[in-house]
Amino acid sequence: MAYYQSPRWTNEIADCSMPMTFDTYSNCSFGCLYCFAQFQRGIGGAKESYLHKDVKNVSVDKIKRMFTDPDKYAGQFAPYIKARKVMQWGGMSDEFDGFEKQRGKTLELMRFFKEIDYPLCFSTKAAWFTEDDRYMSLIEGQKNWNFKFSIITLDEAKAKRIEKGVPTPEQRLEAIRRIAEAGAGGATLRLRPFIIGISTPTYLDLITEAHKRGATAMSTEFFCVEQRSPTLKAFMPEINELAGFDVMEFYKKYSVSTGYLRLNRKVKEPFMRNMKAKCDELGMRFYVSDAHFKELCCNGSCCGLPADWNYSRGQWCEALQIAKNNPEGIVTFDDVCKDINALVSQFEWRQASGYNCNSSEKRAKFEGMTMADYMRYLWNNPQNGQSPYKLFEGALVPAGKDTNGNIIYKFNGARF
């Protein structure tokens, strides 16, 4: 039997607190029009299989071996697992979707992870599992399991069209309530992607409703448009109708890039201010996964994990928080390199599992570098798109070098 190969290293490793990300299935039964995974998977040789919802699951036995004997079976993930860093579950597929109802592989693995008491952060749009005793008996009281529920609007009619096959916003809010009442590691509202015209009419009410159901945090990120994706182009007329304007043209006009379009900071600022003010009013922790305004996160895990959780500190979101909270406003590579060296120095960049190393130019440039070497390269090359300076568009700016020749960055971000 052919199995799906997971976990993988996220392509957002430079600023991700949970860079080891895991999916149970190779495909997702949901059909969300904005899904970035389908824009990536729906191309090349795998396009037909993906679009026709062909699916493979991971080998449960293999995953168990990875976590029970990481030195022998986990390969480049061994240091991460041995350090018991939180694993992100649900990066490219939903672990509680229709395929899970049929196959139950997530349930098998949850039983195992409960046995070894491993810290997990789930990301889902599903609700049914929170009404299933098989799942909830495992979740109840599991303090190191956090659940993020994606909801982008309270408008049921719009949600039904843009998130095909997904439970209603109200059903997902009720799922938040059941998780919150189960006494696990917390429920988070994942207001991502935030889409102007679709999210904006109800977003503040959505935050309030999530808080009423027991959500202790929220995380947001604005929709990005991959204008080169034929799949997204096919979906755009319906997205435009729901938003009430030509989304692609709007992004072309107010983005700072080409190809992969991301709205500029000025467009996003009033919405970010409103969301943070609402969270402050309600006593919720506020987080931003968007490259813009990530400095507003309550701590260095932009997905919403509390500061005392064992996530990776070797990334630029953590650097932003250090600089923001430093009276001198500075951060050095030494402040973030401990986890970088501990977690990703044992394998070469070009061999990183699941990481996009397909560019022949990049492969030649970074030949022989470990992933830790690559992270240090990003830190010390401000013009690189994944450097602290470029990634956050000036929220951290170069301010000299330390005695090791590494750049010192100074905080220049927003303080709402």
Q: What is the pLDDT of residues 2-12, one digit of tens each?
A: 999 999 999 99
Q: What average pLDDT does range 182-204 have in this prediction? A: 98
Determine if the peptide bond prior to 388 is cis (ω within 30°). Answer: no
381 class by beta-carbon count within 10 Å (0-12 exposed, 13-18 middle, 19+ buried)? middle
Q: Which neighbouring-strand residues pair with 364? A: none
Closest CA to 26 of 76, 100, 81, 124: 100
Quick one: pLDDT at residue 227?
Answer: 84
Report the mean per-residue pLDDT for the chain. 95
Where in the sequence of the chain do the CATH 3.80.30.30 domains occur?
A: 8-296
Q: What is the pLDDT of residues 285-310, one digit of tens each?
A: 999 999 999 999 999 999 999 999 99
Q: What is the pLDDT of residues 139-165, one digit of tens each?
A: 999 999 999 999 999 999 999 999 999
Specify the range with the lowest mean pLDDT, choosing from 33-42, 137-146, 215-224, 274-283. Answer: 33-42
Residue 50 has pLDDT above 70, yes or no: no
Q: What is the pLDDT of residues 342-391, one digit of tens each?
A: 999 999 999 999 998 878 788 888 989 999 999 999 999 999 999 999 99
Are 169 and 161 in contact by the 8 Å Cβ rule? The answer is: no
pLDDT band at 328; cut points 50, 70, 90: very high
8-296 maps to CATH 3.80.30.30: yes
Quick one: pLDDT at residue 167?
Answer: 98
The predicted model scores a pTM of 0.95
| Strand pairing report for 225-226 and 260-261 | antiparallel
Residue 42 has pLDDT above 70, yes or no: no
The tokens for 180 are 């919150």
Are 230 and 197 in contact by the 8 Å Cβ rule? The answer is: no
